[in-house]
C-alpha cells in the first residue's frame, strides 16, 4: 500500500519496503509484510548456511544447489513486483583466504543467476570490505554484462567515521585531530570506476542514528541511489513513547522522496508499544487511530506521515516531471524554422510574457511623459515575433499605460508569418501592426525604433545567438532607444549527475560528449554556487563589436562535502529586461513558475575526481566564425581534461 497520495508525484518513492531474514516460506513472508502495509520485501534468496565448497555434486562434477526453494512458490509477477533480493552477507571476494574467495565468487554468481531466473528487478549487494574491492568489482562487472534488466544495488553506510591507522581505504578526509576520516562515498566511487560506470549498478544507503554534514549528503543526490534503509534504532522516542525522527533525519527522508529514492525499514521493534494499543491521531509524532498489525507498523506509519506532510508538487513541477533528466538538443531558431507545437508550448508560459509586459510598460512610461501620451506615438519593433505573443504583450502594455504605439513585427519563419497575418486581422490591429517577413539582420527599416523587443534568449543566455541577432538589428534603433532585454549573463556550476553521464556515454562516440544539452535537472548534486560566465548588453555601443568570450572560473566546493566526482556543468542565465524587471533561471533568483527554459548541460568526456577541499578550475570559450558560433570547455584543476568541442567539431549554432 503506497505511503499516500501526493498531488503530482507518481514516483517509486511512494512505496516502502521492509528488510527480512531468510525464510523458506516466502509466501508467508510476503503475505505477512504486504498485509502489514509494506509494498515489497528485501529478502535473502539463499540459505545463509550454504557454502559452495560443502555442497554435494551430481556425480558429474555439477553442484546441486540446495540453497533455495522452488520459483513456483510465488507467481512471476509477485517475484518481480514485491521481492528485492539480498545477496549473502558472508561473501568476501577480496579475502586473503583463497577458499573463501572462491566460495564467494561461486556463491555470488549462483545467487545472481537465481535472482535473474526469478525476474527480480533488483538485488542488494553487501558492502565492500575495508581491505579493498578490486576482485569484488571485477566479478560484479562480469555479472552486469549478463543480467538483462536487473539492477544491482551495492549497500553502503551513509556515515563518516574516523578510520583506524591500518585501514587500507584511500580516504583523503581529515578530522580536526589530524586522523583520517572514512568516507563511504570513496567506496562507491572506487567500485563504480572499476565497473566502468555501468548504468545498472546503483546504491542503497544505510541510514543510522548519526548523519554526516548536509553538503556530504548532497553528493548522493547526483548518484544512482535507489533506496535508503532506515534502521529502527535510528528512531527517537517522543513523550508518548512513539517513534519519531530528528529534524535532520526528517529533512533527509523528505529529500529522498523528492529524488525518487525509496525507503526500506530494517530492524526489530525497539519502542515499548503494546500490540493491542491504538495509535492516537495528532501532530508530527501522532497518527490516525489504527490497530497495530505489524511489529514495525509504528515506524511505517511515521514514514507515511512524513510523505503525506510534504507539500504537493507545484503546477510547474507537475508539468515538468516528464522531462526530468532527459537530454534534449537545444533549439536553433535562427538556422531552423520552429514548428507550431514548439510555438504553442512556449506561448503557454504566461509568466514570461507578463514580465515582458511589465518591462514594456516601464519603458513606455519613461519614453513618453503623461502630457504627451495622446499626441506622441512610440515606434516599437518586435524582432523575432514568432506567432505574436510579444506583439500582444506590447499592445496590452500600451493600453495599460495609455500610450500610443506603432508596431513592426519582424519574423523570418514564413509559416509563423501566416499565423501573424491571421492574428492581426482577427484582433483588428491592421492600423497598428505592420508585419515584416524577413530576417532582422537583412531588413531595412523605414524608420528608427524607440523600443526594440526580442525573445531570443536560450538556456545559457546567448546560446541561441541573441547577441548576433540584436547586433544586426540595432542599426534601426534610435541612438537613445531601448532594448528589451537590455542585458543577460550566463552562469556555470559543477554538478554530479550519474544519470546524464551514462545517457551520454550510451551513444559511444565523442560527439555526444562535446554537445550541450537542455535538461530539466533533477537527480543531480550541485557542488558549488554558480559563477558568472559571459555578459552581453544591448544596444552594444562598442566601437568594434566582438562577441567572442573567454572566462576562467574557480569553484570552491565546501570542505565538508568530502571527495566528489564532476560529470559536467549546469548552465543558467539571468537577464535584465528593463531596469528592475528581470527574467531568468539562475536557481538563486529564478523567475517563479516559468517553464520556457530548462538549464543547459555541458558534459565532460571523463568525469573529474575532486579530493575533499580541492577547488575546480574551469575554462569556457565562446567562439565565432562566419557561419557558426560554438563553445569550448575544459577543466585544468584538480586534474586536466581535454578541451571539448575544438573548432566546433561536434556542436555549433548556425548563423
The binding site for S-adenosyl-L-methionine comprises 343, 352-353, 411, 439-440
- Distance in angstroms (rounded) separating the CA atoms of residues 564 and 532: 22
Q: Give the C-alpha separation, 242 to 22, whole Å.
A: 28
Annotated binding site: 343, 352-353, 411, 439-440
Cell of 181: 576520516
Cα gap 382→443, rounded to integer Å: 13
Residue 275's Cβ-count burial label (10 Å; 0-12, 13-18, 19+) is exposed
Can you point out the beta strands (E) in 390-498? 404-411, 433-437, 449-453, 477-484, 487-496
Return d(Cα 114, Cα 46) in angstroms, integer. 9
HSE-CB of 646 using CA atoms within 13 angstroms: 4
Q: How many CA atoms lie within 13 A of 496 on its CB side?
A: 24
Angle of helix 297-308 versus helix 247-258 axis, rounded to 10: 70
- For every residue of 493-509, which 3-state class applies, written as one string? EEEECHHHHHHHHCCCC
Cα separation of 159 and 156, whole Å?
A: 9
State how beta strands 628-637 and 616-624 pair. antiparallel
Residues 237/269, Cβ–Cβ less than 8 Å: no
The Cα 321–Cα 501 span in angstroms is 20
| Rounded Cα–Cα distance for residues 348 and 232 (Å) | 48
Instruction: Take residue 648 and report the three cell numbers written for it.
Output: 566546433
Q: What residues contact 436, with CB distance under 8 A and at least 6 apart?
A: 408, 409, 410, 411, 443
Q: What is the CA radius of gyration of the chain?
A: 30
Are the beta carbons of 273 and 232 closer than 8 angstroms? no
Which residue, among 425, 375, 430, 431, has the nearest Cα to 402 in the 3D structure? 375
Burial code of 110-126, b = ≥16 C-beta within 10 A, e = fewer?
A: bbbebbbebbbbbbbbb
Q: Are strands 600-610 and 564-578 parallel, antiparallel or unpaired?
A: antiparallel
Q: Which residue has the cell 504627451?
A: 372
H-assigned helices in 238-388? 247-258, 297-308, 315-320, 340-347, 350-367
C-alpha dihedral sign at 92, 95, 97, 98? positive
Helix or strand holding residue 67 (H, E): none
Residues taking part in catalysis: 455, 464
- Give the SS3 label for residue 632: strand
Cell reading at 256:
529522498
Is residue 431 classed exposed, middle or buried when 0-12, 13-18 and 19+ CB atoms within 10 A define those classes? exposed
Which helix or strand (DSSP H or E) is residue 202 part of? strand 201-207
Amino acid at each position: 500500500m503506497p505511503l499516500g497520495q501526493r498531488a503530482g508525484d507518481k514516483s517509486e518513492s511512494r512505496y516502502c519496503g521492509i528488510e527480512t531474514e531468510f525464510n523458506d516460506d516466502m509466501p508467508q513472508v510476503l503475505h505477512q509484510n504486504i498485509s502489514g502495509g509494506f509494498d515489497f520485501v528485501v529478502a535473502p534468496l539463499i540459505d545463509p548456511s550454504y557454502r559452495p565448497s560443502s555442497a554435494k555434486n551430481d556425480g558429474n562434477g555439477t553442484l546441486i544447489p540446495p540453497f533455495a526453494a522452488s520459483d513456483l512458490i510465488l507467481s512471476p509477477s509477485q517475484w518481480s513486483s514485491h521481492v528485492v533480493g539480498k545477496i549473502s552477507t558472508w561473501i568476501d571476494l577480496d579475502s586473503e583466504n583463497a577458499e573463501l574467495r572462491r566460495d564467494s565468487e561461486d556463491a555470488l554468481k549462483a545467487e545472481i543467476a537465481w535472482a535473474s531466473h526469478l525476474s527480480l528487478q533488483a538485488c542488494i549487494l553487501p558492502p565492500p570490505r575495508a581491505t579493498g574491492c578490486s576482485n569484488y568489482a571485477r566479478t560484479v562487472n562480469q555479472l552486469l554484462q549478463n543480467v538483462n534488466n536487473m539492477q544491482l544495488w551495492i549497500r553502503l553506510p551513509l556515515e563518516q567515521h574516523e578510520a583506524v591507522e591500518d585501514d587500507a581505504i584511500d580516504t583523503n578526509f581529515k578530522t580536526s585531530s589530524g586522523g583520517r576520516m572514512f568516507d563511504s562515498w570513496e567506496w562507491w566511487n572506487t567500485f563504480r570506476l572499476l565497473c566502468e560506470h555501468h548504468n545498472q549498478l546503483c546504491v542503497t544507503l544505510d541510514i543510522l542514528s548519526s548523519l554526516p554534514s548536509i553538503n556530504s549528503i548532497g553528493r548522493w543526490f547526483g548518484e544512482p541511489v535507489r533506496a535508503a534503509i532506515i534502521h529502527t534504532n535510528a528512531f527517537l522516542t517522543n513523550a508518548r513513547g512513539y517513534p519519531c525522527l530528528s529534524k535532520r533525519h526528517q529533512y533527509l527522508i523528505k529529500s529522498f522522496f523528492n529524488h525518487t529514492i525509496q525507503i526500506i525499514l530494517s530492524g526489530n521493534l525497539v519502542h515499548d508499544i503494546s500490540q493491542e494499543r491504538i495509535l492516537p491521531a495528532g501532530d508530527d509524532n501522532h497518527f490516525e487511530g489504527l490497530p497495530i498489525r505489524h511489529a514495525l507498523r509504528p515506524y511505517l506509519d511515521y514514514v507515511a506521515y512524513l510523505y503525506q506532510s510534504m507539500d504537493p508538487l507545484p503546477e510547474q513541477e507537475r508539468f515538468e516531471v516528464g522531462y526530468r533528466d532527459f537530454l534534449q538538443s537545444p533549439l536553433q531558431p535562427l538556422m531552423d524554422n520552429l514548428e507550431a507545437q514548439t510555438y504553442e508550448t512556449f506561448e503557454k508560459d504566461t509568466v514570461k510574457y507578463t514580465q515582458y509586459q511589465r518591462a514594456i510598460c516601464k519603458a513606455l512610461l519613461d519614453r513618453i511623459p503623461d502630457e504627451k501620451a495622446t499626441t506622441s506615438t512610440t515606434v516599437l519593433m518586435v524582432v523575432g515575433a514568432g506567432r505574436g505573443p510579444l506583439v500582444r504583450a506590447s499592445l496590452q502594455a500600451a493600453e495599460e499605460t495609455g500610450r500610443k504605439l506603432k508596431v513592426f513585427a519582424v519574423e523570418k519563419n514564413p509559416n509563423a508569418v501566416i499565423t501573424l497575418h491571421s492574428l492581426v486581422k482577427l484582433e483588428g490591429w491592421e492600423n497598428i501592426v505592420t508585419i515584416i517577413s524577413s530576417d532582422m539582420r537583412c531588413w531595412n527599416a523605414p524608420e528608427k525604433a524607440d523600443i526594440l523587443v526580442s525573445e531570443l534568449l536560450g538556456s545559457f543566455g546567448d546560446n541561441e545567438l541573441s547577441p548576433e541577432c540584436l547586433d544586426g538589428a540595432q542599426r534601426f534603433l534610435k541612438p537613445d532607444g531601448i532594448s528589451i532585454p537590455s542585458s543577460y549573463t550566463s552562469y556555470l556550476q559543477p554538478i554530479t549527475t550519474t544519470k546524464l553521464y551514462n545517457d551520454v556515454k550510451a551513444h559511444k562516440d565523442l560527439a555526444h560528449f562535446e554537445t550541450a544539452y537542455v535538461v530539466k535537472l533533477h537527480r543531480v548534486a550541485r557542488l558549488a554556487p554558480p559563477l558568472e560566465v559571459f555578459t552581453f548588453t544591448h544596444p552594444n555601443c562598442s566601437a568594434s563589436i566582438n562577441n567572442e568570450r573567454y572566462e576562467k572560473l574557480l569553484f570552491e566546493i565546501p570542505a565538508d562535502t568530502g571527495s566528489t566526482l564532476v560529470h559536467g556543468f549546469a548552465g543558467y542565465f539571468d537577464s535584465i529586461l528593463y531596469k528592475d524587471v528581470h527574467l531568468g533561471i539562475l536557481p538563486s533568483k529564478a523567475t517563479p513558475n516559468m517553464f520556457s527554459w530548462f538549464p543547459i548541460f555541458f558534459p565532460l568526456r571523463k568525469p573529474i575526481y575532486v579530493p575533499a577541499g580541492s577547488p575546480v578550475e574551469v575554462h569556457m570559450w565562446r567562439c565565432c566564425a562566419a557561419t557558426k558560433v560554438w563553445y569550448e570547455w575544459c577543466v585544468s584543476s584538480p586534474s586536466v581534461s581535454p578541451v571539448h568541442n575544438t573548432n566546433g567539431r561536434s556542436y555549433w549554432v548556425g548563423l
